[in-house]
Amino acid sequence: MTPTTLEEAETAWSSVFGDGRLPLDRLRRNLDAMMSETPVPPNVPVTSDTVADVPCLRVGTGTRTLVWFHGGGYVMGSPHGYRAAAATLSAALDAQVLLPDYRLAPEHPFPAAFDDATAVLTALSADDTLIAGGDSAGGGLVLAATSAARDRGAATPSAVIAVSPLADFTASGDSFTTNAGTDPVISARALRGLAASYLRGHDPSDPRVSPLFAAFHDLPPILFLASDREALRDDAVRMHATARAAGNRGALSIHPDACHAWTLFADLPQARRALAEMTDFVNGALP
């Protein structure tokens, strides 16, 4: 059943993780199953492609291109599971959505996901209609890859959207403590487990894995969206503050009645409001 209330969305998230001791292959199946509860509309095309040697799915049609990096803590998630979410984004933003199948840990630890993301954005950098975004780990990944493109002197997307971004593997935000009882998805303990799989001892403050510590000058407008109830709230809050101090023309939207990555549940009224914010933001950033 596709969630239509916050309580149902949080129950759906809880069903993915079970008792917290499920093996990774089961977690991956659970996440894709939850994401696939919403069917892809029959008139929405879904095709396979390869960009910069990274397998991708293209979903929908439009006058713009949106690269969306899926969530899943760098260990779960897939373009297949995100097809319906991409179809919703396509309709809202008038964009064909590209879903990169970036490599996952622990089979492919850092910098595999980062390298795949930067390769895809580099390959599409000539497209002046390009928008880039992601949720959770994908939100952190798009910010890290966009910052890296700027550092290389390469073209960056025209606008960036980060939903509930996982942007600080040091877990230094106060919301990890204050929201410990209201977030069924992310916790400090869970983040330590993800770090063990993805980082394999690499410095968690490296901007390529924790873009909170990146420089934010000369970046495209960034829209940060987060739930007031989630552990990652302060990742978005602090990144927006740093970006604004560097002159970024982006925005921050904190939703008090939402859960982690709630925009994935298209039938939630809260998700529809967030999609309207994304549409207004993109229309203001692009011709």
Q: Which sequence positions are flagged as catalytic?
A: 136, 230, 260
Q: What is the DSSP letter of 239?
A: H
For residue 167, count CB atoms less than 10 angstroms from its CB and return exposed for 0-12, middle for 13-18, buried for 19 or more.
buried
Helix (H, G, I), strand (E, B) or coil at 228: coil
Amino acid at position 128, single letter:
D
Q: Give me 74's structure tokens.
A: 């760098």
Tell me, what amino acid is at 132? A
Neighbours of 214 (CB within 10 A): 22
Query: What is the rounded distance in angstroms from the CA atom of residue 14 to the CA atom of residue 16?
Result: 5
Encoding tokens for residue 85?
A: 């979410």
